Structure 1
């Protein structure tokens, strides 16, 4: 179960409030006051706290009751009481229980819980949101519907993956002959060169040795001429009876052995074709430049062999992909049929609930139409249908006031069962409405406040008369204040809203009667 409600809000250094705190009701909160007192500034601050507006204050903080944390946020915060803080100094920072959290994460966490109904918000008219409302209504009536919806979405994603795989293989099949020829050429080129691990480095060493061969040979000849005179060294050592005779003669023997070994090595080098070695080094150097090294070239060769094998087996792979696509398509169609039937079954009840809400809001009745898509390729993640709702005109042609009352009707029709599943924020929802229309909006918000925590600005008396908590915002020399009104204060403020600053006896009587008749204490 997911729900969110605000228990306390603190604002510091905004355009209207130097410092202010208030404790909203869990249900219907209405804010009134003279123009310019700071009501809209307050709502902007609330939206900024959840990352939905740029902040207009240096410090914002809310104590929240948060239940049902999305899986991707588990471990980041715990359920229950959460303190959300926004601080603006050198830059803007968000904190959850004193833990620094990026703004994007704040938006991802809280946006599903917030519904901001402003005079410029037309997002509810898109088909995705209309389906969300319809599906929400059906879920409140049918416990098995959530699983039906989930099964369809899983099948759609599986079908989309199978379709994309098949399409890719079909495209490859069209150019497979060209691809096979190219891959064969790449393989043949590498296999002809037949590089070995460490060969390039060994050839560089060999090249260096060959380049020194003439100098080594010349020096070897000089040493051998010296060794040809070694008998004279032996005679000298015998004549002087030196104690070092044996070690010197042993050293000369060792030198002679070394010369023999080096001579054999030079003969071997003489047999090597230097031109072939240089050509080989050049070829391996080009390989190194292209692939990064011999090891990388060998890995590339292995990958190309596997790629060629895939092309050789493409017919079999393509056949398997076609079977997977057909199975995914059959499953999707079967689950789409179950989803469609569930929607069709509850469509009339949804339309009736929507029209009941529209009637209470003094709006014309709506027609809800589900059109089944014939081709499975036309299915979307939303289902195998198109959903359209029209009143006496298309939704896009409604005025902003009419459209926001339509949004309220959608919320009412959804028949939400979970208390405080979200927060609704409204900025002068009843502006430019007739008294009868304004009363309808107030009644709708009162009904919604059993399922939502509502924050609303109003310049008419109907919302304040039904609110659980009525806050008066007043402009003061040291910054505006937010004051929760008692019954007498509410009567005075409602009377002011009716008659203006010069409060009349009739306005007071009307306000008293409204609160006595309508307000739930």
Structure 2
């Protein structure tokens, strides 16, 4: 709820502070007194796009501050949280406009953008009038208004859920098709590469092993000669024979030397054992160095084949086995791609059918709600002296979306037999005002906690019709807050709080003032509205009668 408005140096206002109340707040005054300036100033602090020349002539800057009460459940808290601005039970907005056009805004003393202000304003204020393109006159919002009147969030939620599922299925199908096309483009390469790798079947570490074996075989000729000489030196014709002779001679001498040769004989025995093991190892090495030229050729061929594939695919040889597995997986996806696409296509058809079924249910409920809304608006139009007008909510097919398959437009025909059309094109003047009021009365439950502003919505009506307008405004204000700019004494008399807007001239400057009125002042103001500049006793009596 709007609690206050502080305006400084805006147009013809030098300094003005207003404190608003719950219920019906009315602002009256002569044409040109500055009532619209109050709305321009409020729109400015709320970030609305409007006239550019707002700063009072001669002032360096204009400034508007507004403060609102915010219950704990007010949707403005979510906007503030998303913007990273602290919130509490009171919201303070302040915006400055310099003479050169620069605008700066603060929300709860934090710098804020016009975008955040406008997001907040959608939760704080509704402006209704003949030039309202943000609320009831905006066809883009009619479907949401119809859904709010229908009050079946379960159906809307079901459609949104089904839409998300449908979009996810379409996205998965598109991604699978794109992936399949990508793999198909390299099918020839994949099949050739996988066949080549599978045929060779390289293993991690094999390249190093083959290289070592090749080097050994290449140098086996020279190495074998040296190993053979060593084996001959160690064998029966070499060291083994000499050590055996020495052992035999020492054993014969040991019979005459006591135990002096025991240790040398033991050492010699160990040497013979070690010599035998060395000879066996050298002999095995000789056998291994018997190189088969064909084996060397086969080793080189495999080594060169592995290195060739490594260069071809630009990876190290040890990674060829893992690379082959990756290619096989891609080829497998290609081979089973048709089955996957078929599965995803079925999922897409199923989710589309579920979405359309949910949307059809929602359309049916909307059609029924549209009939009820039309009847309710028509019932409200009769007391407003528009019983011959026709209001209809038209539903038309729309492109699939999260809101379903419908588009809604509020249409009117001002007289039987007259062509109907969108509300913002057919009705005009007082007729449009009354249509808007009737519609708003029927939709009053859709915007809890929002301050409703009606800008001369009673223009062009008077007498009993104006009284009917006022009573409906009062009914809207019974559980909230309504601000109405009015020229109708019948409407003004029904206000719970009343301000008079007037102009004064000071030092050749025209300024606007707003004065709260007590009961006596209200009598005078309403009498003026009834009789004009010259207030008569008859007008006062009529004003008292209106005030009750």
> TM tier, shorter chain?
0.5 to 0.7
Q: Deviations over 1:117-159 (max 9, x none)?
A: 23233563555422222222222xxxxx223322212222332
Aligned counterpart, 1:382? 403
Q: Deviations over 1:430-457 (max 9, x none)?
A: 2233444433322222121124422221
Alpha-carbon distance between aligned partners in 2 of 1:65 and 1:303, rounded to the nearest angstrom: 63
1:81 Cα offset (Å): 1.0
1:494 Cα offset (Å): 1.0
Counterpart contact for 2:149–2:446, Cα < 8 Å: no
User: Gaps (5+ residues) in structure 2?
Assistant: 56-61, 198-310, 315-324, 414-419
1:129-278 to 2 correspondence within 5 Å? 129-139=141-151, 145-163=152-170, 165-166=172-173, 179-180=185-186
Whether 1:80 and 2:103 are equivalent positions in the alignment is no
Aligned counterpart, 1:238? none
Aligned counterpart, 2:2? 6
User: Gaps (5+ residues) in structure 1?
Assistant: 140-144, 192-282, 288-301, 517-521
Q: Deviations over 1:33-77 (max 9, x none)?
A: 122221111110011111013572511111211232353532522
Larger radius of gyration: 2
Alpha-carbon distance between aligned partners in 2 of 1:357 and 1:329, rounded to the nearest angstrom: 41
Whether 1:28 and 2:41 are equivalent positions in the alignment is no
Q: Secondary structure at the match of 1:84?
A: strand
Q: Quick check: 506-515 or 81-90, which moved more?
A: 81-90
1:24-423 to 2 correspondence within 5 Å? 24-54=20-50, 56-57=54-55, 58-67=62-71, 68=74, 69=76, 71-74=78-81, 76-89=85-98, 91-122=102-133, 124-125=136-137, 127-139=139-151, 145-163=152-170, 165-166=172-173, 179-180=185-186, 314-363=337-386, 364-370=389-395, 378-392=399-413, 393-395=420-422, 396-416=425-445, 421-423=449-451
Pair 1:473–1:127, CA change in 2 (3 A):
closer
1:379 Cα offset (Å): 3.5
Alpha-carbon distance between aligned partners in 1 of 2:27 and 2:431, rounded to the nearest angstrom: 22
Alpha-carbon distance between aligned partners in 1 of 2:114 and 2:332, rounded to the nearest angstrom: 49
Alpha-carbon distance between aligned partners in 1 of 2:190 and 2:87, rounded to the nearest angstrom: 59
Pair 1:400–1:122, CA change in 2 (3 A):
farther
Pair 1:467–1:166, CA change in 2 (3 A):
same
Q: Secondary structure at the match of 1:445?
A: helix
Pair 1:120–1:483, CA change in 2 (3 A):
same
Alpha-carbon distance between aligned partners in 1 of 2:183 and 2:78, rounded to the nearest angstrom: 48
Alpha-carbon distance between aligned partners in 1 of 2:63 and 2:160, rounded to the nearest angstrom: 42
Counterpart contact for 1:423–1:454, Cα < 8 Å: yes
CA RMSD of aligned residues (A): 3.7
Alpha-carbon distance between aligned partners in 2 of 1:34 and 1:335, rounded to the nearest angstrom: 54
Counterpart contact for 2:486–2:492, Cα < 8 Å: yes
Alpha-carbon distance between aligned partners in 2 of 1:417 and 1:168, rounded to the nearest angstrom: 41
Q: Quick check: 103-112 or 83-92, which moved more?
A: 83-92
Residue of 11, 24, 37 corresponding to 1:15? 11
Pair 1:330–1:493, CA change in 2 (3 A):
same
Q: Give the alignment's TM-score, normalised by structure 1.
A: 0.66
Alpha-carbon distance between aligned partners in 1 of 2:173 and 2:65, rounded to the nearest angstrom: 52
Counterpart contact for 1:369–1:387, Cα < 8 Å: yes
Alpha-carbon distance between aligned partners in 2 of 1:422 and 1:104, rounded to the nearest angstrom: 19
1:162 Cα offset (Å): 2.8
Alpha-carbon distance between aligned partners in 2 of 1:183 and 1:8, rounded to the nearest angstrom: 75
Whether 1:492 and 2:546 are equivalent positions in the alignment is no
Q: Quick check: 379-388 or 5-14, which moved more?
A: 379-388
Alpha-carbon distance between aligned partners in 1 of 2:342 and 2:126, rounded to the nearest angstrom: 49
Q: Give the alignment's TM-score, normalised by structure 2.
A: 0.63
1:472-511 to 2 correspondence within 5 Å? 472-478=500-506, 479-511=511-543
Q: Matched residue pairs, number? A: 395
Q: Secondary structure at the match of 2:528?
A: helix
